[in-house]
Amino acid sequence: MANIKKYGFATKAIHVGEQPDFREGATGDVVVPIHLSTTFARKKVSEPTAGYEYTRSLNPTRKALESKLASLENAEYGLVFSSGLAAESTVLLALLNPGDHIVAFDDLYGGTKRLFNQVFSNFGFEVSYVDATDTSLVENGIKPNTKLVWIESPSNPLLKLSDIKAISEITRKHGLILVVDNTFLSPYFQKPLDLGADVVVHSSTKYIGGHSDVLGGAVLVNNATYYERIQYHQNAIGAVLSPFDSYLTLRGIKTLALRLEKHQENALKIAHYLASHPKVSKVIYPGLESHPQHELAKTQASGFGGVLSFEIKGTITDAEHFLEKLTVFALAESLGGVESLIELPSIMTHSSVAKEIRDQIGITDTLVRVSVGIEDVEDLIADLAQALE
Ligand SMILES: *Cc1c(COP(=O)(O)O)cnc(C)c1O
């Protein structure tokens, strides 16, 4: 594939990094082999074979995944890690120094907040949180020692959006690095680097892997200096994705476009169904016209994703009864897999957030988060209907 950039998303998702090898002695595999070798022999002392020395530094299966993901995010460079949080930690250690300040969206993934507040704060990193749905609050949060702005759009579980392009204009003006966690929409629906972000991070555990069977993280950048620093730290810290997990993730990505279309189609139908149900007081989904940032969702992304939240009328006990009566939806944390998952943030994913703060930001006791899968939507709606009864 001489000019990879001219191909569409689904073509790149299938072919980039996995072109058959027709060189003398090669076997023309259409799927990249799982290179389990931890070390690579060389013929000459000072010449590693094709650049490979030791798998922590570089591995052919991992490299195939890194190049595939880079092509999908329109990035020059990709790096993959053993989890989303390993990717995030490596970015912070590579790009920041103790004493540096981060302006972060106050509705970040809980694990990211824990990493900032409980781990990096012990090493002199400073973080303050702002409501990034209001771009001016991001700019107001900047201090003399600010180096980086960290956002997520849409956020979880309230599906709030940040205007990536507008925020990137602020970070550019102040010489700051803009990091966007693009886990919720995946590169299929949103490409933050094209909107002006400097670094994209992913939990590939979610939509990119897509089958709830492989943990992983990714970092995508265009800037060669950032790439070199992050790659140096990837090797130096060592939280790399294994060859087998790289293979599983490569396999998952091939259907990313198909899956996300179906996730979104099902999510939209379920959002409409719930919005008209008498026992539901509120539905939050960027694809609904009632979402306060529906217009921004349409302009900065090409889709709305497969996650929605809704509030059940009644008490927390009513919400628990509803969740326990479901049979097709699995009552579980996580998101982005082919199977539908449902959870109660106040007791499950967001229980570590203090109740006053939960109430203040809108994570009420009966707010339910759904990761809509790609099952037959009639079965999903029938399951919700019987459990809401
Ligand atoms: C799950 C998740 C992470 C963390 O990724 P892991 O692979 O679980 O380490 C980070 N950000 C978002 C938005 C997530 O959903």
Contact between residue 172 and residue 190 where contact means Cβ atoms under 8 Å apart? no
Domains for the chain: give ranges and CATH numbers: 4-253 (3.40.640.10), 256-388 (3.90.1150.10)
In DSSP notation, 299-314 reads HH-S---SEEEEEESS
Instruction: Name the residue with tokens 């302009």.
Output: 299
**pLDDT of 2:** 63
Pairing mode, if any, of strands 199-203 and 217-221?
antiparallel
Q: Which residues line ligand 1 (CB under 6 A)?
A: 83-85, 109, 111-112, 152, 156, 181, 183-184, 203, 205-206, 215, 217
Ligand 1 mutation target, pool 109, 158, 161, 241, most atoms within 8 A of CB: 109
Nearest residue (by CA) to ligand 1, atom 5, is: 84
Q: Say what the pTM is.
A: 0.97
84 CA to centre of ligand 1 in angstroms: 5
Would you tell me how many other CB atoms lie within 10 Å of the CB of residue 264? 21
In DSSP notation, 175-226 reads T-EEEEE-TTTHHHH--TTTTT-SEEEEETTTTTT-SSS---EEEEES-HHH
Helix, coil or strand: residue 342: strand
Handedness of CA 19, 259, 89, 244 (dihedral sign): negative
> Distance between CA atoms of 73 and 201, rounded to whole angstroms?
11
Provide the annotated active-site residues: 56, 109, 181, 206
267 CA to centre of ligand 1 in angstroms: 21
Residue 331 makes CB contacts below 8 A (sequence gap 6+) with 323, 324, 341, 342, 343
pLDDT tens across the length of the chain (389 residues)? 667 778 999 999 999 999 999 999 999 999 999 999 999 999 999 999 999 999 999 999 999 999 999 999 999 999 999 999 999 999 999 999 999 999 999 989 989 999 999 999 999 999 999 999 999 999 999 999 999 999 999 998 999 999 999 999 999 999 999 999 999 999 999 999 999 999 999 999 999 999 999 999 999 999 999 999 999 999 999 999 999 999 999 999 999 999 999 999 999 999 999 999 999 999 999 999 999 999 999 999 999 999 999 999 999 999 999 999 999 999 999 999 999 999 999 999 888 788 888 888 889 999 999 999 999 999 999 999 999 99
Q: Cα-atom radius of gyration of the chain, to the nearest Å? A: 21
